[in-house]
Structure 1
Amino acid sequence: MKLTARVAEVLLVSGVLAATIAPPAQAHAPTRAHTRDVPLRVASYNIHAGAGMDNVFDLDRQEAALRAMHADAIGLEEVDVHWAARSEWRDVAGELAKRLGMQVYFAPIYSVDGREFGVAVLSKYRILKAVNHEITRLSTQDPNPVPAPAPGFGEVELRVKGVPLHVYVTHLDYRADPSVRVSQVADTRRIMGRDRNRKVLLGDFNATPDAPELAPLWRDLTDVEPGAPTFPALKPVERIDYVAVSPGVAVRGAEVPDTLASDHRPIVADLSLRR
């Protein structure tokens, strides 16, 4: 049956109006998956060059401790790469990464005739970019050291389920005199201050959270409080190991696992990356 001109006109107008007021296609609407925060578990662990609290080198023991953390990214301090007999001249960073099925970036503090010692980041996510920054150091390899810029402040760029994240790992000076740490904190703030992304700082700071030399860090970052000390591992009495986060990174919880695989205990934190 043929439509009359009037009926055809009404249907045409109705179609135009429907197209005008129809909601936008679902492809353009934000979905729950795109707005939800992204969970991330991170850890910081001074691994004592592969030796436990008993001072015995045992990479199997450290692998087990790291695996038990179920972390997506781990900052390691006191890492040997063909450094000395104490770690059997092995590539500790590379071996742990291979065993755990993680990517690795090693940032040497010292490189001497093919021997290296420094910090590292292990990551379940692909490392897109990495930089070994210089900060002030007082060398343990120079018989007459003076404070000077030296490498060993590692940074990696990750993309965690589409969210950009920069992870930093550091090991600050161990001496009782805080003057070198004061300079290192200033260097750290300067370097990280250039980075406008979400940031996580992992490391052994060799100072407690209330130390005056660390106070400037807490202007920029939030110290993740795990509720327990980290050093020494056997009967810990102070926290000198850290996870710290920038705005855009929320803290869901943190803990200090009970392990003697190193002379430190690790700190593990559950975070959320805000989209």
Structure 2
Amino acid sequence: MIVAGVALVGPSAPSGAVFARALPVDAAESVVPNRVMTWNLCNPCGVSDVDRAAEIATYAPQVIGVQEACDREVARIRDFLEGYYGLKYHVAYGTVLDSLSRCGGSPWNPGGFGQAILSAAPMTDVVRREYPDGGSEDRGYLAVTTLVDGHSVRVFNTHLAQRRQESVRAEQVPVLAREVARHDRAIVMGDFNAVPEAPELAAMWKVGTDVDPECRPTPTGPCEPTTDWLSKFDYVFLRGVDPVEHGVRATVYSDHHPLLADVDVP
């Protein structure tokens, strides 16, 4: 039985899980170099990091931005992606809050909570910023420079104030937009907690466009929702980068659904 157990898990399997979840037959076989993905992981939701890793491995993006992420959870997801699916990612953490209730740990060493970026290529020039006012909970953005579609791109990941805090988001968005405007090529991912026509997003629409062409301040067609409550809250804004294909992929592992975008970087 011991020998059989070792054979099942394998010498390189990450600790804390017995076996990997099988991927769909049409799952990507390796990292897709021009694909990015944003996903609010939902925390606390009692979801297995094995399942989260399998969800990411199905699409194998070059870059993934996750929100409501605990640093230890992200580390486990990275290990599962490599140990089970052979997908190697670098990680940059954008922790804005130490949270024992959300992320566990000990009273003197609680887990870090916020956003993170996983990239198949190394990341440089990492910047972590908290917004002056996070609303009911500290919020911020994480920015890195990495490769997408074989070219250097500035990538941002953010999580804005909760959905009924419009006035707070109205102060946060210009802070982010000013930084994005400094770059000729940028991809901005995240949970903005607002629909496209929300007034507080005006500054973002001036510096980029969402990968979904139907999602605009004045909708031009059916804007694909990204949440269980059928709202468009999650975005991949592009600046100096061209959209190729996009899609929202339904999941049972969060109340937000992964938004994927294949892009062309000039």
Q: Any stretches of 5+ residues in structure 1 without a counterpart?
A: 1-37, 82-90, 142-149
1:200-235 Cα distance to aligned partner (Å, 9 max, x none): 000000001111111221111011117521111xxx
How big is each residue's C-alpha offset from its partner over 1:38-58, in whole Å with a ceiling of 9 and x where there is no partner? 961000000013x6xxx3321
Measure, in 2, the Cα distance between the counterparts of 1:271 and 1:262: 25
Match of 2:34 in 1: 40
Structure 1 SS opposite 2:206: helix
Does residue 240 of the first structure (1) align with residue 233 of the second (2)?
yes
CA RMSD of aligned residues (A): 2.1
- Alpha-carbon offset, residue 162 of structure 1: 5.3
Amino acid at match of 2:238: V
Q: Return the match for 2:75 from 94, 105, 109.
A: 94
In structure 2, what is the equivalent of residue 173 of structure 1? 161
2:195 corresponds to which letter in structure 1?
Answer: T
Give 1:124-143 correspondences, 5 Å limit. 124-138=120-134, 140=136
Pairs aligned (count): 211
Aligned pairs (5 A) from 1:180-191: 180-191=168-179
Q: What is the TM-score with the length of structure 2 in the denominator?
A: 0.73
On the 8 A contact 1:204/1:241 being kept in 2, the answer is: yes
Q: 1:268 and 1:136 mapped to 2: Cα distance?
A: 30
CA deviation after TM superposition for structure 1 residue 176, in Å: 1.2
Q: Cα distance 1:159–1:258, how it changes in 2: closer, same or farther (>3 A)?
A: closer
Aligned counterpart in structure 1 of residue 252 of structure 2, from 260, 263, 267: 260
Give the partner amino acid of 1:237: L
Task: Check the 8 A contact 2:47/2:253 in 1, yes or no.
Answer: no
In structure 1, what is the Cα distance between the partners aligned to 2:33 and 2:60?
Answer: 13
Show the counterpart of 1:60. Answer: 50
- Gap runs ≥5 in structure 2: 1-31, 82-87, 100-107, 214-222
**Which residue, 184, 208, 213 being the options, matches 2:200?**
213
Counterparts of 2:42 and 2:150, CA distance in 1:
34
Provide, for residues 228-256 of structure 1, a one-character-per-residue CA deviation record: whole Å limited to 9, x for no partner.
Answer: 21111xxx411101100102x00001001
| Aligned-partner SS, 2:132 | strand
Taking the aligned partners of 1:67 and 1:162, their CA distance within structure 2 comes to: 20
2:126–2:143 Cα contact (<8 Å) kept: yes
Highest Rg: 1 or 2?
1
Change (3 A) 1:93 1:153: same
AA at the equivalent of 1:136:
P
Measure, in 2, the Cα distance between the counterparts of 1:239 and 1:152: 20
Instruction: Give the structure, 1 or 2, with the largest relative contact order (CA under 8 Å, sep 6 or more).
Output: 1
Tell me if structure 2 keeps the 8 A contact 1:39–1:271: no
Q: Judge conservation of contact 1:230–1:240 (CA < 8 Å) in 2.
A: yes
